[in-house]
Amino acid sequence: MTKFEINDCHKKTIKEICESFGNKRSELINILHKTQGHFGYLPEPVQLEIALNLNMPLAKIYGVVSFYSFFTMTPKGKFPVSVCMGTACYVRGAEKIVEALEKELKIKVGGVTQDGKFSLDCLRCIGACGLAPVIMIGEEVHGRLEPQMIKDIIKKYE
């Protein structure tokens, strides 16, 4: 993976985001949301830039980023695959779906395929319990899954 190089344009974007929240430390989580929305993830130089704008210790920002599972410091795949691990999905076999995905994509949970196309993560309940077990690829929800259906679903995105 190439290292994220921050340029002046990035810095301007971050500055604008921080300013839109009044450069307030108490708005850090909103700022991180917005920044991640823009960059797709929160690499080190981006966090440093936020620290400079908010005039707060970088360690504290990293402390927040590393606390919340929504924030990530690694870029996701073009099609992020998320498996719902809510209880309803669990009792209806979400673990087997994870296994099938790991096998199909040849990556472990948390990983990204070599071509950067897919990344695989687990998430908490997405609230589509009626369709359990459920996965999300990008914004699309696929429900009532069985392990053998995974291959065809992934194929659609290739």
For another protein, the binding residues (CB under 8 A) are 24-30, 32-33, 44, 47-48, 51-52, 56-64, 66-71, 85-88, 90-92, 123-132, 134, 140-141, 143
CB of 108 to another protein, least distance (A): 16
Rounded Cα gap, residues 157 and 128, in angstroms: 22
Rounded Cα gap, residues 20 and 16, in angstroms: 6
Kindly tell me which of 20 and 66 has the beta carbon lying closer to another protein: 66
CB of 115 to another protein, least distance (A): 26
CB of 158 to another protein, least distance (A): 22
Q: Please confirm whether the linkage preceding 133 is cis (ω < 30° from 0).
A: yes
Kindly tell me which of 130 and 152 has the beta carbon lying closer to another protein: 130
Kindly tell me which of 47 and 119 has the beta carbon lying closer to another protein: 47
Check: CB of residue 49 under 8 Å from CB of residue 10.
yes
Provide, for the chain, the percentages of residues in helix, strand and coil under a 3-state DSSP scheme, each rounded to the nearest 5. Answer: 50, 10, 40
